[in-house]
Amino acid sequence: MRPLSTIKYFLRNKRKLMSNITIIIVAICLVYIMECFIASIIGSMYPLDATRFEYASVIITTEAVPQIPEETLTELKGSENIDAVVPVTVREIVFSVPASTTHTPIFSAEPDDLDYLMDKFQIEISEGRMPVNELDEIAIDENVAKNNGLEIGSKTSIDVSHNLNREYTVVGILESDSHISFVDSPTTNDTLQYGETGYLVFHAEGCIEDADNEVTKLSDQGLTVFTLSLYNRLFEKNNQTFQVLDMMVIFAVIVMVVCLVCSKYAQFFARKQEIGILNAIGYNRSEISKRTVWEIVFTNLVGFVLGLLIAIILCRLIVTAMFDSLGGTGVYLYAKAAGISLLAPVLTTIFTLIPINRLINKVDAISIITSN
């Protein structure tokens, strides 16, 4: 007797095969795209908010402390953990990607400090030039420019409060991983209010943790401080939102698995007569179960591979376009997304085989033949 052939069964039932594979493909695409979308938000926001703190911490004046005490500055400058303390004005510009919005910094500093800032932040001018004092000019980060639709010659209003409500002309496009922009006048002077003036505190080489600790202590004096460690803690707290989204994706996978298992069990239940006839003509339950295993594994494996390829292509075309066009980072190759997507076919295979094997063992070939 010829062994049961899974391939021949699929050739005779192409429509069922395509239907089963299509369901798996849709499930894989949905899960993979959702995870890549979440990863793209994180990949776009975190570098904009955090990378600059790898180079320097920021101290900002507050209403309670409108001017940073001179003794505090002297203490910072004399610390072996700190390379330099540079006075700046601090402003921001909006950066938005789908489902998330943040602000990136725009600094104004004395002309003599600009070269040092450019060097420490590893900023390069990719187009145009740096702004000239008292001409209301801005050199903007290339990703921020793309996000806000700005180019050389564009006008932008970055100040809508206090004494700085004016337009600036874009004269330079900057390139760096810190995503910092520079504006010219006014620099640090008496016309600026609290919350606009501050200092960049650059860490000495290998002393970022100690320098951050020194800066963090200044918050006890009523100053606003931003350090890498403080931001990372804030990010971890905010990251709980993305963890909830991950749980929702996993819940969606479980719902898909339940639907797929019910669908497949219904299909095999409708094949009770076929199973009984195969048993009656000499195929034992082990052989029938073996073909069933290959059917389910083959269907899920092909569905997973095709679904993953289609999902990657869709993410490359859609997700990256949505984020890259706005200066963000679109993710389309993501191991975590592939791993979570794999849950659908794996769990479907396991929880389909268990009830179907029981069904095969319960089928009575004689009663089926007699009833027909």
pLDDT digits (tens, 9 = 90+) for 300-310: 999 999 999 99
Distance (Å) of CA 199 to CA 5, 84, 102, 187, 356:
75, 10, 21, 12, 69
| pLDDT at residue 185 in the model | 60
Region for residue 179 given its phi and psi (left: phi exceeds 0; alpha: psi -120 to 50; beta: otherwise) = left
Please report which confidence band the pLDDT of residue 281 belongs to, taking 50, 70 and 90 as the band edges.
Answer: confident
Q: Is the pLDDT of residue 218 over 50?
A: yes
Structure tokens at 198: 């501050």
| Residue 370 pLDDT exceeds 80 | no
- % pLDDT > 90, the chain: 54
Predicted TM-score (pTM) above 0.75: yes
Of 106 and 5, the one with more pLDDT = 106
pLDDT score, position 165 = 59
What pLDDT band is residue 12 in, cutting at 50, 70 and 90? confident
Residues 329, 230, 188, CA angle at the centre, nearest 5°? Answer: 85
| Residue pLDDT, tens place only, 238-254 | 778 888 888 999 998 99
Relative orientation angle of helices 208-216 and 228-269, to the nearest 10 degrees: 110
The predicted model gives 117-127 an average pLDDT of 95
The CA distance from 252 to 25, in Å, is 15
Kindly report, residue by residue over 31-82, the tens digit of the pLDDT.
999 999 999 999 999 888 899 999 999 999 888 888 888 999 999 999 999 9
pLDDT of residue 194: 47
Mean pLDDT score, 319-337: 94
| pLDDT for residue 184 is more than 70 | yes
Contact 311, 363 (CB under 8 A): no
Q: What is the average pLDDT value for the chain, to the nearest integer?
A: 87
pLDDT score for 49: 87
**More confident call, 217 vs 195:** 217
What confidence score (pLDDT) does residue 181 get? 95
| Ramachandran angles phi, psi of 330, nearest 5° | -85, 130
What's the confidence (pLDDT) of residue 11? 82
7 versus 304: the higher-pLDDT residue is: 304
